[in-house]
Amino acid sequence: MSLKRRDFLLSGGAAAAFTVSQLTSSDSASAQALRPPAKWQHTADVVVIGSGATGLPAAIVAREAGASVILVEAEKDIGGHAITSGGNVPLGGGTSVQRKYGIKDSPDLLFRDLTDWSVVEPNGFPDYRYNDREIIRAFADSSAATFEWLLAHGVIFVDKAPDDFGGTSVGNSVPREMHSAAMDWPMVQTGKPADAMIRKMLSSGNGLMRPLEAAAKKGGVRILLEHRMTAIYRESPTSGRVIGIAVDNKGKKLDIRARKSVIIATGGSTGNVNFRRMFDPRLTEEYCGLAGMPWSNQNASGELSGLAIGAALWGLYNQTGEFGSNLTKPGTIGCQYNYVNLKWIPGSPVFDRARASGLSVANWQDLIMVNMLGQRFYDETGGQFTANDYHSIKDYVQGSYLNAKNRKYNPNNFINAALAGIGDGRNGGGPIWAIFDADAIIREKWDPHAPNVDIKAGFFFSADTLGDLAEAIQMQYQRVPMPRANLERTVARYNSFVDSGVDEDFGKPKPLHKIEKPPFYAAWATPVVHDTRAGLRINAKCQVVDWTGNVIPGLYCGGESAGGFSQHGLARAVCQGYIAGTNAAGTATQRGNAG
C-alpha cells in the first residue's frame, strides 16, 4: 500500500484507518478502516490508558469529579516508568513547602523560568526556548495545586526544604525540587522495603505511585491490569468524538466504551525504535538498555493511536535538543538495563527479565571504552548533556542576553562520540564496551559473575588475552567482529599514555591505570535512551489537537506521550494528569479549535 506525501498531509496523518498494531506491522496492505464495535464489553465515563505518573492522577481526579473511570494498564502492575524513578518532583509556583521555608515563588515566576529564551547549556543548546507557552502557562498555574493535591492523597515527601537535586530543566530562579519518600512500600528495584532507618529520607518513585494506587482503588477507579490498548475509536475513523478503545487482554480482544473521554497516559516512545529514529536516526536497535525497563516499556502506543485518528505531533526540537537526560552515559556496565539512577537487584519482581544488576563504576579511570572495532573514541571520564536548574547560571536574570553570553562553552560530546559509528555508512553507533583487567576488579571491588553481570545474554565477556577477548565478543548487536589487533593496539597505546601521563588522543586527565593483568574483561557500556520530550499536540486543557489545529473531541493526553514541554520527569506528568482528569470528567461533547 503506497501513500504519497501530499495524501499524508491532507488526510491528517493518513494513519487514521490503522490500528496501533497495524501501524507497527510490516504488512499494512491488509489494514482496514477502524470502525466502532457493535458491542462494548466495558463502559465508563472516562477511560485512562496507562497507570504511571499521568494516568493515576488523571483517573483519581476524574473519579472524584463524579465520573466513572476505567484505567487500563498493559503490565502486570501499576506505576510505569514513574515507579522506577528517583521520586524527584519539581512542582513550584508557591507550594506550602516553599512558603514554609521562605522561598518566594509564583505561577508567573515559574512560567517565565520555563519559557526563558536566554538560558543555554554549556554546549549552546537551550532548555526552554522551544516550549509551548500555552502548555507552560497551564503547568505554572496548576503546579502548586497539584503539589497540595498529592499531599492530600497520601504522598509523603522528604521533610526538607526544596532543593536542586535531580532537577532537569526546572527553572533557575528558586529551588522547587521535592522528593517523595520511600516509606514502607516494597521497592520495585529490590522487592522489599527500604531500610527502616532511611525510609523517610530516601527519595523514590515508589513513594509517589503506591499512595496514588491506594487512593485510586479507595476512590473507586477500576484498574484493569494486563490490558494493552491496541486502538482508539472515534465516531468515524477521522472525525467525530472519541468514544472508546480496543484492548488486548492475554490474547482476548475487548472493547471499552468511554461516554465522555479517553486520556492517553502511555508514557512515551523511547522503546519504539522506528518512532524514536524520527527524531534521531542514530538510535537504532542496539540502544536497548532503556531507562525504566523491564518494569514497563515506552512503545509509542499512545502516540501511534493518536496519529491513527488524526492527532498531530508537537515540540519535536525538545527531543533532539542536546540538553537533559534524553540520552545518558551508562550508570552501570555489564548488563542491558544500565540507566544511571536505576539498578535492579535480585528479589525484584522483574529481575528474571533484567537478568543482572550491573557493575557500578566509581572511577572511570579504571577502564577504557571502545567501539565495535575495539577503538577508543573519547575521554572516558567525560560527562553527558547538562540541564538547567536552580543556580546553575551565576547572576541569573530572567530574559537577559548575558545568561548565554557569560556561559563557558563546553561541548559535552561524550554521547555524540559514542553514537558516531564506525564509518561503515550505517546508522547506529553500535555497542560500546568497557575494557578493564583484573587489577580494576580489585580497585572497584567488583564481582564479575552473575547476577552482577549478564554473561548468558552477551553483555559481559572475559578472556586471558586481549586478542581472545576481542574474538569472544559476539552478540546480536555486535554487527562486525572486533579485530584482535585493534584491541591489542588500543590497549598498548593507552598504557603508553599512563606512562607519559598524557592522553594524546582524547585528553583524558592524566590516565592512571594500565590494562595489563589477566583476565581481561569487556562489559556492555552503551549509552541509554531515557526521556521522551516530544509527543502528541495538546492545548492548555490537555486536549489532543489534530493536524488542522482543531481539538479532537473527547481525547486528552499528558506526560511523556505529549509534546511541547522540555522538562524531564514527574512534575510535568503529574500536573498534566491533574489537568487532564479535571477537564475530561466534565467533557461530553466539547469541541473547538486549539486556541
Burial of 66: CB neighbours in 10 Å, binned 0-12, 13-18, 19+: exposed
| Cα distances (angstroms) measured from residue 206 to each of 61, 179, 271, 291 | 20, 11, 22, 15
Burial of 110: CB neighbours in 10 Å, binned 0-12, 13-18, 19+: buried
Tell me whether residue 426 is in a domain.
no
Q: What is the mean pLDDT of residues 398-422?
A: 94
> Domain holding 548: CATH number?
3.50.50.60
Tell me whether residue 484 is in a domain.
yes
Q: What is the mean pLDDT of residues 238-246?
A: 96
Q: 334 and 300, same structural domain? A: no
> CA–CA separation, 486 vs 548, rounded Å?
55
Render pLDDT for 524-583 as a digit per residue (tens, 0 to 9): 999 999 999 999 999 999 999 999 999 999 999 999 999 999 998 899 999 999 999 999
Tell me whether residue 595 is in a domain.
yes
Quick one: which of 333, 376, 416 has its CA closest to 503? 376
Q: 581 and 491, same structural domain? A: no
Within a 10 A sphere around the Cβ of 409, how many other Cβ atoms?
A: 10
Question: Which pLDDT belongs to residue 288?
Answer: 97
Which range of residues forms the domain containing residue 274? 1-23+33-326+531-595
Q: 69 and 157, same structural domain? A: yes
Question: Which pLDDT belongs to residue 34?
Answer: 77
Strand boundaries in 407-471, DSSP class E: 433-437, 460-463
Question: Which pLDDT belongs to residue 205?
Answer: 97
Q: 187 and 121, same structural domain? A: yes
Residue 589's pLDDT band, with cuts at 50, 70 and 90, is very low
Q: 44 and 12, same structural domain? A: yes
Would you say residue 13 has pLDDT above 60?
no
> CA–CA separation, 446 vs 448, rounded Å?
6
Would you say residue 8 has pLDDT above 80?
no
Tell me whether residue 389 is in a domain.
no
Report which DSSP code applies to 181: B
Q: 308 and 349, same structural domain? A: no
Q: 549 and 443, same structural domain? A: no
Would you say residue 11 has pLDDT above 60?
no
Instruction: Quickly list DSSP for 472-502.
Output: H---TT--SPPPHHHHHHHHHHHHHHHHHT-
Tell me whether residue 406 is in a domain.
no
Render pLDDT for 155-183 as a digit per residue (tens, 0 to 9): 999 999 999 998 899 999 999 999 999 99
| φ, ψ (nearest 5 deg) of residue 214 | -60, -40
Render pLDDT for 298-321 as a digit per residue (tens, 0 to 9): 999 999 999 999 999 999 999 999
Q: What is the 3-state secondary structure (H, E, C) of 518-546?
A: CCEEEEECCCEECCCCCEECECCCCEEEE
| φ, ψ (nearest 5 deg) of residue 224 | -110, 105
Looking at 233-323, list the stretches that DSSP marks H as alpha helix, in order from N- to C-terminal side. 273-276, 301-308, 317-320
The last residue of one of the domains, among 524, 539, 560, is 524
Render pLDDT for 551-567 as a digit per residue (tens, 0 to 9): 999 999 999 999 999 99
Q: 182 and 99, same structural domain? A: yes
Q: What is the mean pLDDT of residues 138-157?
A: 98
Render pLDDT for 350-387 as a digit per residue (tens, 0 to 9): 999 999 999 999 999 999 999 999 999 999 999 999 99
> CA–CA separation, 122 vs 23, rounded Å?
39
Tell me whether residue 390 is in a domain.
no
In percent, the amount of the chain with pLDDT more than 70 equals 93
Q: 581 and 449, same structural domain? A: no
CA atoms within 13 A on the CB side of 539: 18
The last residue of one of the domains, among 524, 542, 563, is 524
Tell me whether residue 470 is in a domain.
yes
Q: 476 and 439, same structural domain? A: yes
User: Global pTM?
Assistant: 0.93
Strand boundaries in 213-355, DSSP class E: 222-224, 228-236, 239-249, 252-264, 313-314, 327-328, 332-333
> Domain holding 475: CATH number?
3.90.700.10
The last residue of one of the domains, among 508, 524, 540, is 524
> CA–CA separation, 41 vs 56, rounded Å?
22
Helices (H) and strands (E) in the chain, counts: 17, 20
Q: 124 and 3, same structural domain? A: yes
Residue 32's pLDDT band, with cuts at 50, 70 and 90, is very low
In percent, the amount of the chain with pLDDT more than 90 equals 90
Within a 10 A sphere around the Cβ of 449, how many other Cβ atoms?
A: 11
Q: Is the CB of residue 375 less than 8 Å from the CB of residue 564?
A: no
Sign of CA dihedral 358, 359, 362, 366: negative
Tell me whether residue 138 is in a domain.
yes
Q: What is the mean pLDDT of residues 478-499?
A: 98
Strands of the sheet with 460-463, listed across from one edge: 368-370, 433-437, 520-524, 460-463
Render pLDDT for 417-470 as a digit per residue (tens, 0 to 9): 999 999 999 999 999 999 999 999 999 999 999 999 999 999 999 999 999 999
Q: How many domains does the chain have?
A: 2
Q: 555 and 459, same structural domain? A: no
Q: Is the CB of residue 385 less than 8 Å from the CB of residue 533?
A: no
Angle at 145 between CA 139 and CA 151, to 5 degrees: 125
Question: Which pLDDT belongs to residue 587?
Answer: 61
> Strand pairing of 228-236 and 460-463?
unpaired
Would you say residue 30 has pLDDT above 70?
no
Q: Is the CB of residue 556 less than 8 Å from the CB of residue 305?
A: no
